[in-house]
Chain A
Amino acid sequence: MKKGRILTGLLAAASVFALAFTTPQPTKAASNPSSVSAIKKRGTIKVAVFGDLPPYGWVNKDGKRTGYDIALAKQIGKDLNTKVKFVQVNADSRVDALKSNKVDIVLANFTVTPERKQVVAFAKPYMKVSVGVVSPKKKVITKVSQLNGKNLIVTKGTTAESYFTQKQPKVQLQKYDSKTQQFNALKNGRAVALADDNSYLYAWVKNHPNYKVGIKHLGPNQYIAPGIKKGNTSLLNWTNKEINKLNKNGFFKTDYNQNLKPYFGSDVSAKDIIITK
């Protein structure tokens, strides 16, 4: 009896693994459900967006989706002459949503990285971010060399932390667990400055006028671009053309002024964020 039970257990485990590791079959090009013609035929484009990241993709108190990414999604819908269906995703489900055809395109603050490029096709970027450094206006830090041998606040796991650990070993890092903690530490004067994604800092100095983002860009720029399923050249080409067109007619500038500017301090201008070329 006992042997039988062990056997059943083993069989159960085996079936679990068999199911979990079923090899994916390659999708047929002919049946691409996210090609431009398929989207137009359907009459709706499915867009993956964030629901909790103001001012990029969020939901206002009336329950309406709004933000910089959302405005772009609506414009794309308009130019394709289709309705837009928003699918709210989390950061870690953006790739899977594309792969499983839950969405046609991802417009969710999707940063282009070499790892992601292996599994997702990125269209032309529409926004740039990089590491910035904020410090009190009275003793503003404008060059990295001013930080040598001094304490700098970062949050664990951010790009700012990895940038300073790898590239600026002379700077002493004070590491915190959350945004709230790191900003409190800066206010209490525990270090001379704080480094984080510049877009967060712009938003923070807006409410804290005694501080200034003295260094706006550090290290390599990172780009935010629409993500499209690998192999979907039809939609990729269309999106690239669309971004070019929107760049020319100043759409992103308007989008910046409407959605981002109210959140950022006055020392930021559109050219720090949007890409115009």
Chain B
Amino acid sequence: MAHSGINILFEGRNLTRLLGGLWISAKIAFIAIVLGILLGIILGMLRTLKNPLLRVILRLYLEFFRIVPTVVLLFLFYYILPQNFHINLNAEVVATLVFTLWVAAEMSDIVRSGLISVPRHQVDAGKAIGLTTPQLYRYVLLPQSIQLMIPATINLTTRVIKTTSLLLLISVMDVINVGQQIIEANNQHYQNGAFWIYGFIFILYFILCYPLSVWARYIERKEKLRNNG
């Protein structure tokens, strides 16, 4: 029995299955991030308006998604809500929906804080030359705050990718779920299979997330150079 545990990755269709699982995780994360960011930008802009009712509603929305743990949200949407309202969505749809709403909530706060950090005199100057509110956002506020939002957004993105590992709880066949199947199916022959499978999954997640964090660091450095230099 001189075989190394790494062979567990290459038995049968194991490797393809793991990559298939990763594809599902990545797909859900990607769709949720894109939709969530778009929705979050709109909500963030609405939150800077002066309407008190709108602000309270959006604030409640943000706090709900920020306070309640993602696991609870997934359970709520997948198991609990269907019992009360008779809507039955499949697991991947539920996952995408929950992640989109979560990203939108977090994003709205990033956008809001970015927008209000633009100096007040910029807004006044914009108004002085006769810009309407939409024009004010389009030409003055967004261009100046977007640089501030990018690092936080990338950080959020990596968090979303990592959190897809919770999806196995609602029966999504993501990369972790497939990994556990393989570990348990082989625990007779590969006693340390868990080490290799989780090690491989670690590398997969790393490949997805590391470029993003390098990018975030690069942008931050550029920002610092621009401000100080």
Contact = CB atoms under 8 A, between A and B. Distances in A.
Interface of A: 8-9, 11-13, 15-16, 19-20, 22-25, 31, 51-54, 58-63, 87-90, 93, 96-97, 99-102, 207
Nearest first, the 4 closest Cβ-Cβ pairs linking A and B are A61-B12, A12-B63, A52-B184, A96-B79
11 contacts: A15-B60, A19-B76, A59-B181, A61-B13, A61-B185, A63-B16, A88-B177, A89-B171, A96-B80, A99-B83, A101-B82
A12 B68 CA distance: 11
Interface in B40-98: 56, 59-60, 63-64, 67-68, 75-76, 78-80, 82-84, 86, 88
Contacts of B84: 22-25
B110 interface: no
A101 B12 contact: no
Given A59-B185, A61-B185, 19 more contacts: A8-B63, A9-B63, A11-B56, A12-B67, A13-B63, A16-B64, A23-B84, A24-B83, A51-B181, A52-B181, A52-B185, A54-B187, A59-B182, A60-B185, A87-B171, A93-B170, A100-B78, A100-B80, A101-B88
A34 to B, nearest CB: 11
B162 interface: no
Contacts of A22: 84
Nearest to B56: A8
Interface in B159-196: 168-171, 173, 177, 180-188
Interface of B: 11-14, 16-17, 56, 59-60, 63-64, 67-68, 75-76, 78-80, 82-84, 86, 88, 168-171, 173, 177, 180-188
Q: For chain A, what secondary structure do more than half of its interface residues adopt (helix, strand, loop), or is it mixed?
A: mixed
Contacts, number: 96
A263 to B, nearest CB: 8
Contacts of B67: 12-13, 16
Contacts of B180: 51-52
A46 to B, nearest CB: 10
A63 B79 contact: no
A61 B11 contact: yes
A8 B47 CA distance: 14
Nearest to B170: A93
Contacts of A31: 86
Contact of A102 (B11, B86, B171, B183): B171
Nearest to B67: A16
Given A15-B64, A54-B184, A90-B169, A63 B17 contact: yes
Nearest to A206: B188
Contact of B60 (A11, A23, A59): A11
A93 B79 contact: yes
A99 B173 CA distance: 21
